[in-house]
């Protein structure tokens, strides 16, 4: 089994949600797998957080991270937007 780089788009519940709090919890959740973390403007002041993590390509490797990210307070949704072999 190998590894893949997975990009997650993390949407806050609304434009007033504290993104720095979400960013710090994303860092803690992804731990050493995290490679990049940045904000992406969406619309009307709403910003998404894009997180790139290196995970095992075993069955369900990124699903556990996606579920953990969705459980962070203030997160409205989490979507896997890209998967690339490493």
Domain harbouring 59, CATH code:
3.30.70.60
Maximal CA-CA distance, the chain: 42
Inter-residue contact 54 to 7 (CB < 8 Å) = no
Q: Which of 23, 1, 36, 32 is nearest to 73 (CA)?
A: 23
What DSSP character marks residue 31? Answer: G
Domain extent, residue 24, equals: 3-85
Give the Cα separation of 62 and 67 in Å (integer).
9
Q: Is the pTM of this model over 0.85?
A: yes
Inter-residue contact 52 to 27 (CB < 8 Å) = no
Give the Cα separation of 72 and 70 in Å (integer).
6
Considering its fold, how many domains does the chain have in total?
A: 1
pLDDT tens string, the chain, 86 residues long: the values are 688 999 999 999 998 999 999 999 999 999 999 999 999 999 888 999 999 999 988 767 788 899 999 999 999 999 999 999 88
């Amino acid at each position: 089994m190998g590894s893949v780089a997975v990009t997650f788009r993390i949407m806050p519940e609304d434009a007033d949600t504290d993104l720095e709090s979400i960013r710090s919890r994303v860092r803690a959740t992804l731990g050493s797998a995290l490679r990049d973390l940045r904000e992406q403007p969406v619309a009307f002041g709403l910003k998404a957080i894009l997180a790139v993590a290196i995970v095992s390509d075993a069955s369900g490797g990124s699903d556990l991270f996606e579920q953990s990210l969705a459980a962070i307070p203030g997160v409205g949704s989490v979507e896997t937007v890209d998967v690339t072999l490493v």
